[in-house]
Structure formats: C-alpha cells, structure tokens
Structure 1
Amino acid sequence: MENKNQTKFIAFSSQKGGVGKSTFTILTASILHYYLGYNVVVFDADFPQHSLIKMKERDLEIVMKNEVLKRQAYKQFSTIGKKAYPIIQHKAEGVLEAASKYIDESEIKPDIVFFDLPGTVNTPGILNALAGMHYIFTPITADRFIMESSLVFSQLIQEVIMKRGDSSLKSIQLFWNQVDGRERTILYEVYNDLIFELGLRCMKSIIKSSARFRKESELTTKNVFRSAILPPDPRLMKISGMEEFIKEFIAITELERK
C-alpha cells in the first residue's frame, strides 16, 4: 500500500493545445502552496516554450512595479513563512529522475510535484514521464475536435500506460473547463454518457467560462486570478468553480489535510 506521505507526481495533460493545462498547473499550485499550506514544486518540461518559467518571470516583474500587488505579496509571504514555489526548467526526457533528485536533496520535502508536459506523445521521454505520474488531470471543453483528441489521449493513457508494469499512474481524470452557462445542458449529458461508456472518469466540479478568470498580473490591477507569485482572488476562485475543484482534487489525490 502506498504511503500517503509520499510526494505526489501530478500533471495536467492533454494532446490539444489551448484547453488550459498550463493555466491549471499554476492555479492549482498557487492555491495549494499559498492558501492551503502544501509545499509545491513545478517542473516546466513543456519544451521549447517553457511558458511557466516565462510567466513567473513576468509575474515577479509586475509585482515589483505594482504597489498594491507588492503589499499583497509581502503580507502573504510574511504570513505563510515560506517563499514562492520553485518552477524548474527541464525537458520531458529525464524529468522524473530530475524531480526525484530534487526531492532527495530538499530540506523540506514537497507534498506535490506538478509537471507541465508537452502536448504530443511524439516528444522524447513523454510516455515515460506520463507513466511516472500518480495522477493525470485532463481539461476538456464541449468542442468536437477537443473531445475527440482528449478521449483518444485518455484511452491511450488508461489502456496502454496504466497497464505497464512500471507505471505509477493511479487514475486519469477528465474535467470540464470553460463551461458557458448558456450552452445546452443536454450536450454535456451526452458527452458525460460517452465518457462513462468508454470507462473513463470525469470530475463532478466544473470550471466556468469568463474573461475575468484569465486575469494575470498587470501594472494597474488590484487582484489577480492566474499568477505564480500570488493565489487567485478568493471571490474569483469561488465563482469560477476552482474552490469546488480543489476540494475534489484533494480527495482524488488523497492529499493529507494541512
């Protein structure tokens, strides 16, 4: 039986770009690290763009220039007594070994390591990296092309990678992102039935669609939603659905309560 104190290896992964895998990596990491007391590390293995590395650099620059955000950051880090979580650049090939080495050498053992992985299974090392995850979360939207790609990807993970003798993967979870309240409920019911028929799992919580949820650090902003330095604004977190998502995420991954 797995020790629940073991560091969890988790990836938001998809074969379709633009569905939010990097965004959810940052959102979830920031909520868990800054709000809920978990120790988080992120490996940005999405070569060559490494968007999370660039996001953190941009966030740091903006926070230092925005007096409101600078005060928020100072209060936050003084209260929680720890630094921003590290984002480490790497390629998919060898990223598991790099993460294990980091954990072994860390004075404070991380509770979770998030991996932002490339969006194609043709990338060298990607299949081994996916097999080394404990949990994979795949965002989906009610778009036929995205659904087809996501379902094929999820079936590949479940039917091939999870059945490998050396796989650490416990489950792959799909979840609805960018849900527009004006869309027909029956459309989601049809898709949910299809997911169930394919033997796949879909989370109950959904993430709503709004331009406000894409708000990043800016020179004039007073609150943020997506940031590597600050957690999302509590009100936006609640109305977006991230609050319920995090509760379900913690239950699925069997993270110990802090």
Structure 2
Amino acid sequence: MKDPSFVAFATQKGGAGKTTLTVLTASYLYYVKKMKVLVVDCDYPQYSVKELRDRDLQITRINKSFATTVKEQLNNLDVDPYPILMCRPEEAMGKVKALYDKGEHYDIVLFDMSGTINNPGVAKTVSLMDYIFIPVTADKIVLESSLAFAIKVRDEILTLPDSSIREMHMLWNKVDAREKTDLYDKYEIVFEEQLLTTLKTRLPDRKRYSREVGEDGDRAVFRCTLLPPDKKLLRGSGFPELLDELLGIIKL
C-alpha cells in the first residue's frame, strides 16, 4: 500500500477560491481520472466542502434530471461519491491514519484548511502536507494576505524538523483579462524575491467556477461533489491545464 500525496489549497483570506479549487480538483481526479480521492474538510467551523456535498444531495431529492445524471454517472464508474472527512484541523491526520488502519487507501488526500495559520492545530496539519498551493488574486488585500501566509509557512513551518512539505507554490486565480499581463509578472518578481515559486497556469475569472446545480432544470454544472466539471464548461477554463501542471509536480 503506497502512501498518498497530502495536498492543500491553503490561504488565510476568504474569497481566494481555495474551497472551489479543492472541490474541482477532487471531482476531476475522482470522476475523470479515476484516482482514489479523500477530501478532508477541516475548514472549521463552516465546513464548506461538507456543506456543498449536503446541498448536492438535497438537490438530488428535488431535481429528478440531476438525480438521474448522478445515478448514471456513478453506475457507469461503479463507484460511490468520493468520501469527505469532516474534522477539526488538529484531528485531521489522526482520522486519516485511522482510515488507513482500517484498510482504506487513496492516491491523493486533499485538505480544505482553515485560514487561521496562528492556530497551533492548523499550523501542525499544514506542516504535514506534501504540497501546498496558495491561491492568490490581484486584489491588494487578498494578495497581501496570501503573501503573508506563504512567508509565515516558509519561515515558521517549513523549518520545523518534522515538516513534510516538499513544495509550495503560488497560484494565480480569478485573473481578469482586462488587467495587463505585466501586472502579474511584476507581482511574480515580488514572489521570487521572497523565494516563492508561481505556477505557470493562471486561472481566468469566470462565473462558471461557482456554477452549481439548481433545484430545477438540467443546466450544466461546474462545481459539484457528485459530478465532474461539465466538459463544455471546462473549455477555456484553464482548469485541465492546471491539473496537468499539478499532477506533474505531485508525480501522480
């Protein structure tokens, strides 16, 4: 039984897109790439991923078209929806280990982290990640917050003797096409000065990223815990390119 890769999209500022990125990655790798995926929702106290799963399940009881699509998807793949483990940050690794002790195993474990890096439980769990990807936008407040988070991880967590972090990368999210490209290039120079690397893939600002299923109708959905992102909506989203880059780094 090989060890899984522990991966987190993490930052301390809301609105950067870490939960959406976690869900999209989990659904794409599980339903499309057929990898064994576990999502650990330790974004206490809101538990955003678990809340989305509950909402998806509730809509299957209301929207017959959506329920049929989900049933056909799961039957064709012969799988249940990927598991979501809900816990406090300080309990996360213990609960994952307990699943392994029971014989469960995964290719990748995705953590949706609480943003309060000053919490000892959060800091300890962050230190046990293999890879951390920090979403950042051109918004000044988000940018400064994400940069401060990355520097704190670099200076106070990466240096711990029992830290497992192999790589940490900044990730441009919600890139506005109206912004000049050199704006992002200039910010990346700042990251480089802080010894922080940035992923090549930049995710554009698209409403489709938050497009969920409705209570009626059969519109295509992008963010869902029971289905993969719709193929048509994937085009031009930058997300397949991002996953290819991430998988290359993680070597999955």
Counterpart selection for 1:74 from 59, 65, 71: 71
Matched residue, 2:196: 200
User: Structure 2: how far apart are the matches of 1:24 and 1:132?
Assistant: 20
- 2:219 pairs, out of 215, 219, 222, with 222
**How many angstroms does 1:154 deviate by?**
0.8
Following TM superposition, by how much is the alpha carbon of 1:144 offset from its aligned partner in structure 2, in angstroms? 1.6
| Counterpart for residue 101 of structure 2 | 104
- Work out whether 1:167 is the aligned partner of 2:197: no
Q: Which amino acid aligns with 2:201?
A: S
- Give distance in 2, aligned partners of 1:199 and 1:9: 22
Is residue 8–residue 134 contact of structure 1 (8 Å, CA) maintained in 2?
yes
Deviation for aligned residue 1:38:
0.4
What is the CA deviation profile of residues 85-113 of structure 1, one whole-angstrom value per residue up to 9, with x for unaligned ones?
11111001121111111122134x11111
Q: Is the 8 A contact 2:20 2:209 kept in 1?
A: no
SS at match of 1:137: strand
Structure 1: tracts of 5 or more residues without a match: none
1:22-50, CA deviations, whole angstroms, 9 ceiling, x for partnerless residues? 11111100000000010111111111111
Instruction: Name the stretch that deviates more: 140-149 or 63-72.
Output: 63-72
* Letter of the structure 2 residue corresponding to residue 151 of structure 1: L
Q: 2:99 is matched by which residue type in structure 1? A: Y
Conserved in 2, the CA contact under 8 Å of 1:68 and 1:222? Answer: no
Q: Which residue of 2 aligns with 1:33?
A: 30
| CA deviation after TM superposition for structure 1 residue 21, in Å | 0.7
Instruction: Look up the match of 1:150.
Output: 146
> Of residues 236, 239, 253 in structure 1, which corresponds to 2:236?
239
Deviations 1:131-176 (A, max 9, x none): 0111111110011221111112111212221121101110111111
Whole-angstrom distance in 1 between the partners of 2:156 and 2:251: 24
> Which of 106, 116, 121 matches 1:120?
116
TM-score w.r.t. structure 1 length? 0.93
Task: Please give the root-mean-square deviation of Cα atoms over the aligned residues, in Å.
Answer: 1.4
State how 1:12-31 maps to structure 2 within 5 Å: 12-31=9-28
Contact 1:13 1:117 in 2 (8 A): yes
Provide the rounded CA distance (Å) in 2 between the counterparts of 1:50 and 1:213: 19
Q: Which of 132, 147, 151 lines up with 1:136 in the alignment?
A: 132
Structure 2 residues without counterparts, runs of 5 or longer: none
TM-score by length of 2: 0.95
CA contact (8 A) 1:22 1:116 kept: yes
Indicate the residue corresponding to 1:50 in structure 2: 47
Tell me which residue corresponds to 1:62.
59
Q: Which segments of structure 1 move beyond 4 Å, counting only runs of 4 or more? A: none
* Aligned residue pair count: 251
Distance, in Å, in 2 between the alignment partners of 1:228 and 1:113 is 15
Q: Secondary structure at the match of 2:202?
A: strand
* Letter aligned with residue 222 of structure 1: R
Q: Which residue of 157, 178, 182 maps to 2:178?
A: 182
| 2:250 aligned residue | 253
